[in-house]
Amino acid sequence: MQRERIMTLLARKLAKEITEEELSELETLMQLYPDSLYYEETLAQVHFKKDPEPDAESAFERHLLKYANDFNEVATEESLPEKRWWPGLAIAATLLFIAGFSWYFMVQPGPKLANPDTTVSCGKDTRKKLMLPDGTSVWLNANSRLEYDQDLFANNNRQVRLFGEAFFDVAKDKKHPFIIYTEKISIKVLGTAFNVKAYPEDNKTEATLLRGMIELSINNEPEQHLILRPSEKFALTQSKTDEFRSALVIEQLKPISISDKIYYEETSWLDNKLVFKDNAFEELMPKLEKWYNIQFKVANPKVRDYHFSGMLDEETIEEALTAMQLVRPFKFKMLPNHTVLIY
Amino acid sequence: MQDLSNISSLISDIANYDSEAAYKKLFILLFPSVKRFVRCMVKSSPVAEELAADVMITLWRNRADLPGVRNIMVYAFVIAKNLSLNFLKKNSKRQIVSFDDVDITLEADNITPEQILISDELKTRLNQSIDALPPRCKMIFKLIREDGLSYKEVAEILDISVKTVDAQLVIAVRRLSEAVKKEYNLS
């Protein structure tokens, strides 16, 4: 049974665990049984299919985000603006409608950025990250604009004006409160990381807090303020009759689990993904329109009520809609001028 | 396999200076193979990434102990194995009690050889043979052939003896050889 012995020695040779003695034994045996060359050559060429190499760099970035707390303890240099967000809390969803509540301390509106000298804007298909003169990092979403003065500390406050959506990671500076003005609400930053959504054409203005504390006030009603704590979201809805009814909604953020990964719906655009959970198509439309820079024409009103959950990453609009068709029946057609017909 | 001197200086920086830059380098060195290892057990790429990241954070959190670890690759793979097993215990439809219950996914590929042409048929047969290997045998074959680990390292990771590793590899080689034998009509 020399073949058995050859197999054994071949195995060790393949594993690079063969001794000198065994090697010469193998060579002798192979001269006696030349067929064994086939075995050796073939086996040596068995390689495994490689998964496309995971992009370790971006995996590392995600890793830092997920375990931000482990790395915050190590306060070495703050030189690199490393993205640090959510501490990875798992919170159940609770919806609180706050009718009348005790107001916290007053914020003096102050002179509101009369003539900002710097404007950064993002067109329909771009997102930008920038750093303000004080070290604050801002991620600006598509169709958004940020205005501020280079001399950020002019009024003893750091002030910016936002149209659209942005995520702020505010540099700590207790002496100079950071204030963000949007069309309808003003946000004074007491903590550090949060997302603001204030597209002028939307009915809702939202602020989502991930870390720290922020204080919100409604521009039209300066006496009203409230404080948000981490993982809380504030939404101000303007009623359709344009009468200013402040429906204040504070929600606990519910992390969405899709494919075993946890995303927070409001801020996943930072990862270049669009995440939605159980959204009616009606709700989803403006998100998709902004994401793909298209416009929907809905010929079939039933579709508006269909609910979808999903996550969009690199998909084209056709791919996304095709996937959605698997969930609920509808048809779509791509029309000229970036229009999509749903019927 | 890995650049050992490089790794030990990284570990030193991580353990003694809490260096996040060194940790990043270690992460980039180890993450791909740990993820591959996990993936052949858990199948799903996103899950593999999560678990591989968990392995890395465990290294970070235990960084004070790292200089005492003889072989960081083995250490990481052992953690990876345990995390994967735990995951499968919770999430698999089948009863998973130990490593031997795990269904391992491997797929062989081949680069155009210089000397012997491997036909598609042979490739299929080889794949079938590999697939038919018992889990532990399969894993051993992969760790040695793909990850380049030594008998000793594999033995440590899987908590078995070096003799067993050797014996299992011989079994794998023998089985694969059957496919070759048929193809070329050998003796």
| Identity of the residue in A8, A35, A47 whose CB atom sits nearest the CB atom of B111 | A47
Give chain A positions within 8 Å (CB) of B168: none
- For A160-209, the pLDDT digits (tens) are 988 888 888 787 776 777 888 887 777 777 656 667 777 777 767 776 66
Domain assignment of residue A264, yes or no? no
A226 and A280 both lie in a single domain: no
CATH of the domain at A314: 3.55.50.30
Environment class of residue B100 by beta-carbon count within 10 Å: exposed (0-12), middle (13-18) or buried (19+)?
Answer: exposed
Domain ends where: A200, A225, A255? Answer: A255
Contact A7/B170 with Cβ under 8 angstroms? yes
pLDDT band at A18 (very low <50, low <70, confident <90, very high): very high
A225 and A95 both lie in a single domain: yes
Query: Reduced to 3 states, what is the DSSP secondary structure of residue B183?
Result: helix
Q: Which residue of B has its CA nearest to A1?
A: B187
Residue B172 has pLDDT above 90, yes or no: yes
A142 close contact with B: CB closer than 8 A: no
Number of domains comprising chain A: 3
Domain ends where: A208, A227, A255? Answer: A255
Domain assignment of residue A38, yes or no? yes
Domain assignment of residue A52, yes or no? no
Domain assignment of residue A210, yes or no? yes
A296 and A333 both lie in a single domain: yes
Contact A39/B114 with Cβ under 8 angstroms? no
Mean pLDDT of A1-11: 87
Residue A215 tokens, joined: 């204080």
Residue B58 neighbours by CB under 8 Å, 6+ apart: B79
In this prediction, what percent of chain A has a pLDDT beyond 70?
Answer: 64
Mean pLDDT of A200-221: 65
Most confident of the ranges A20-24, A125-129, A178-182: A20-24
Range of the domain at A21: 2-44
CATH of the domain at A119: 2.60.120.1440
Domains and CATH numbers, chain B: 4-99 (1.10.1740), 106-184 (1.10.10.10)
Residue B178 has pLDDT above 70, yes or no: yes
A67 close contact with B: CB closer than 8 A: yes
How far A71 CA lies from chain B's nearest CA (Å)?
Answer: 8
A120 and A239 both lie in a single domain: yes
A129 and A239 both lie in a single domain: yes
- For A263-287, the pLDDT digits (tens) are 555 556 656 677 777 788 888 888 8
Distance CA A292, CA A307 (A): 19
Give chain B positions within 8 Å (CB) of A74: 18, 20
A282 and A173 both lie in a single domain: no
**What's A174's DSSP letter?**
T
Give chain A positions within 8 Å (CB) of B18: 74, 76
Domain assignment of residue A26, yes or no? yes
Residue A12 has pLDDT above 90, yes or no: yes
Residue A308 has pLDDT above 80, yes or no: yes
A243 and A278 both lie in a single domain: no
ipTM associated with this complex: 0.74
Confidence (pLDDT) at B165:
95
A5 close contact with B: CB closer than 8 A: no
A180 and A206 both lie in a single domain: yes
A254 close contact with B: CB closer than 8 A: no
Give chain A positions within 8 Å (CB) of B118: 42, 45
A295 and A323 both lie in a single domain: yes
Residue B82 neighbours by CB under 8 Å, 6+ apart: none
pLDDT band at A87 (very low <50, low <70, confident <90, very high): very low
Tell me the sheet residues that pair with A335: A339
- For B97-150, the pLDDT digits (tens) are 666 666 676 665 544 444 445 667 777 788 888 888 888 898 999 899 888 899
- For B34-59, the pLDDT digits (tens) are 988 888 888 788 888 889 999 999 99
How far B98 CA lies from chain A's nearest CA (Å)?
Answer: 23
Residue A20 tokens, joined: 């000198």
Confidence (pLDDT) at B58:
92
How far B150 CA lies from chain A's nearest CA (Å)?
Answer: 7
pLDDT band at A69 (very low <50, low <70, confident <90, very high): confident
Give chain A positions within 8 Å (CB) of B116: 38, 41-42, 45
- State the count of interchain CB pairs (< 8 A) between A and B: 130
Residue A8 has pLDDT above 70, yes or no: yes
Domain assignment of residue A179, yes or no? yes
Domain assignment of residue A291, yes or no? yes
A91 and A225 both lie in a single domain: yes
A302 and A338 both lie in a single domain: yes
Domain assignment of residue A331, yes or no? yes
A310 and A338 both lie in a single domain: yes
Confidence (pLDDT) at B113:
41
CA distances from A103 to A222, A223, A253, A270, A273 (A): 11, 8, 22, 32, 37
